[in-house]
Structure 1
C-alpha cells in the first residue's frame, strides 16, 4: 500500500503509530528492546526505529519470538540515552498502538526512570476495532492482518508491526464514512493530558477512598464541588470517562485545575462538601437553601468542641474531625493538630453541619470531647440534649 496516497484525515493532530518489543510483560521488571514509530503529519509519512539495550538478559522464548538476541542489543543505546530525543519525536502526536496500555505503560515507565513525564493522548486499535466491528470475536494483530488484507513486512518486530497499524488506519478510511469514523475515534481516545496542569500522573496521586474534590476554570474560579467514596476513580471518570452526561462534558471542558481532600469516611465528606459549596459557591452546584422552620442557631448539646474519628477500611492513617457549636472546623491526621483547629477558627453556625450532624448523632455517631480526647480514646456515645 503506497504512502503516496494521502490518508483521509479522521483527526486534525499528528499521529504516531508505535510498537515495542520487550524482555517480558511486566513494566516493573522488564525493559524495552526495540521501538518502532510510523509518524503521520503535515509533511507526510516518516519511519523511525531503534534497538534498545535493555541492560538485562532477553529470555530465550522472547529471542525466539522476536528474533532479537542479546548480541543484537549489546551495543544498542540505552533508553536513558535516547529518551529526550524520543520524547521530542512523540510530543504533540496522538499515540496509537495495539493493546496501547502495554506500549504506553512501558514507555511511561522508562521515561519516568529517565526523569521525564510522558502523558500523550492514546488510541488503542484493539478498542477501535471492537467499536467498529462489534460482531467480530478476534481483534488481535493477526486477526486484523487476515480481515483487512494487511501486508506484514515481518511479525514481532517493532517497525513492521507499527507499519501494520498505519495500513489498518488507511483501511478504516476506505471502510467507514468519515463522520462515523471520527465519532468512534473521539469516543475511544483516552486523554492522559487532561487539561491545564492536570495529567494522569496527577490523578494517580488522588486519594483512593472517601473525599471531596473541586474543579476550577482557566480564571481559577470554582466550577463544581462533589464528594465520592472512591475519589480518584470518580475524578478520573469525570474528566476522561467515555460515559458522561452532557452536563459533565460541559464542566470537564472548562476544568483547568482540580483540588481534593481525603476525609477518611462518609460523614467528613458530607461536612466538607457542604462547607466547600457554601464557601466557594461553584457555578455548577446548586446553592443550599434554607429549610422552613430550620433554626438560624441552635443549642449546642456539648460543653465544648467535639471530635470524631473516621478511617478507611484498608488505610493505616486516621482522620479526626472537629465540630464546635454546629460549625465544622476541619480535619487533622492526629489529635494535637485537631485541637489546634479549635483555636484557629471561631465557630459560626452552619445549617448544613447542623443537619448532617443531627442525623448521624441520632444514628449513634460516637464522639469525644476535644479537650480530653486521648489515644487510645474511650469514646462516649453522644446523644442530643
Structure 2
C-alpha cells in the first residue's frame, strides 16, 4: 500500500471504507468475486484488509490476463460464504466508497444475499464525486484520476491497490478544496441506504417516479404524515435524507418506522387520495382539514345524474387512471373505464365530502372533462 504522504492529514470523525473488487466478469447474479480489498479509515487512523476469494467457477482467460489472478491462485482461497460474517462486521457502520460504486456495491450485496445476510451501507461513488468536483473534465476513470492528481499506484487491477488509490484521491480532495464546498459535493453524491429506521434506499427505489401519495407510520403503526407529489419517489426521499431538510422533516424522519404509497395516475388523483387518507387516518403531523363555512356548500347540488370518472395520464409512467366521484364523494381510482363502473357499483351510498368538493368545484367550473359512468358502462356492455 502506498504510504500516507502526510501524517498530519485529518482523519474523518466517521468511519469509512474504500473498497475494490476483482470478479470473474461484470454480470450480477452470474459472475462472482475473486478478490476483495478494503482500506478502512477512521478517527484512529488507517488499516487494510484483503483476501482472494474462491469464485467456485473458472476465471475467464482474459480476466486472468487483466488482473493477474489465476484459477490456481483462488483454488484454495476461502469462499465468500466463509468470509461473509467477518466482512460484514468489518464494513458495518462505515460509509462504503468505491469507484463505479454500483458495480462493487451490487456484487457485494448479491453475494451477501446468497448467504442470507443484508448489506445496506451508505454508498459514495468516486466517479460521481470526481464529476461533481471537476465538471470540466471529460474522463473520470481510475486511470484518469491517477494521471490528473498524481496518485501513485502500487499495482493496477488488484483489489487492495485500487482501493488505496481511492484513499489517495480522497486525501487529495480534502487538501485541494474548501471543507464546506467538498462537504456539499459529498452530501449530494452519497446514497443513503438507511434513511429512517427500517426504510432504506431499496425501499425508496420501489416507489414510482411519477404522481402518487404516501403515508409515514411510526411506533405501533400510528399514522404520522401523508403527502402527495408529482415526483413521488423524489418527494419521499427528500423527507428522509439531505442537508437542507426542515426542522419538521428532521423530527419526522426520527419517528418513521414504515411507509405506504400508491400511484395515482395524475395530480388530481393525488389530491383526491391525499384528502381521503387525511380524513380517514388523521395523521398526527398533518393539519386537520378546515371545516369552516362547510355549511354553505354541504348542500351544493351534484351537477350529474350519477357517478362520473375523471381520466388522467401520468406523464412519467404513461399510466392512465380513472378517478370515480359521486355526489362530491371520491370513491377510488381504477386503471380502466370498465373497472371504474364496477367500482361505482360496489361502493356504498356516497356521502358529501368537503375536501373533494373543494378540489373539484373550481376545476369543473374551468371545464374539466368528465365521463358519466352510466353512459360509459352501457357503452362497455354493448
State the TM-score, normalized to the length of structure 2.
0.79
Superposition RMSD in Å = 3.9
Is 1:351 equivalent to 2:354 in the alignment?
yes
- How far apart are the structure 1 equivalents of 2:56 and 2:163? 24
Query: Are 1:128 and 2:129 counterparts?
Result: yes
Corresponding residue of 1:342:
347
The one of 367, 373, 378 equivalent to 1:368 is 373
Question: Aligned residue for 1:299?
Answer: 301
Specify every segment of 5 or more residues in structure 2 that has no aligned partner in the other structure, as ranges. Answer: none
* Alpha carbons of structure 1 residues 266 and 249: separation in structure 2 relative to 1, 3 Å: closer
Q: Quote the residue 1:283 is aligned against.
A: 285
Alpha-carbon distance in 2 for matches of 1:375, 1:77: 68
Deviation digits for residues 194-234 of structure 1 (CA, Å, limit 9, x no counterpart) = 11111112123324543211335679765653323453344
Other structure's SS at 1:40 match: strand
Is 1:168–2:161 an aligned residue pair? no
Contact 1:144 1:150 in 2 (8 A): yes
Q: Would you say the 8 A contact 2:327–2:350 is kept in 1?
A: yes
Structure 1: gaps spanning 5 or more residues: 379-385
Contact 1:207–1:231 (8 Å) recurs in 2: yes
Corresponding residue number in structure 1 for 2:152 = 151
How far does the alpha carbon of each residue in 1:1-60 deviate from its partner, in whole angstroms, 9 at most, with x for none? Answer: 2499364134x2211110011222232443222111111234432211122233344333
1:325 correspondence with 2:327: yes
Q: Which range moves more in the overlay, 178-187 or 36-45? A: 178-187
The 1-side partners of 2:379 and 2:15 are apart by 59
Deviations 1:262-292 (A, max 9, x none): 3344443221022224443563669557679
2: distance between equivalents of 1:230 and 1:264?
12
Contact 2:323 2:340 survives alignment (8 Å): no
- Give distance in 1, aligned partners of 2:368 and 2:271: 15
Are the counterparts in 1 of residues 16 and 96 from structure 2 also a CA contact under 8 Å? yes
User: 1:154-175 CA deviation, whole Å, 9 max, x = no partner?
Assistant: 1010011111112222333333
User: Secondary structure, in 3 states, of the residue corresponding to 1:143?
Assistant: helix
Alignment CA distance shift 1:76-1:199 (3 Å): same
| Larger displacement relative to structure 2 (287-296 or 222-231) | 287-296
SS in structure 1 opposite 2:297?
coil
Larger helix proportion of the pair = 2
> Which piece of structure 1 moves more, 49-58 or 197-206?
49-58
Q: 1:275 and 1:17 mapped to 2: Cα distance? A: 47
Aligned partner of 1:383 in structure 2 is: none
Q: 1:230 to 1:58 in 2, by over 3 A?
A: farther
Distance 1:58 1:285, change over 3 A: farther
User: Cα–Cα, structure 1 residues 376 and 66, in superposed 2: closer, same or farther, change >3 Å?
Assistant: farther
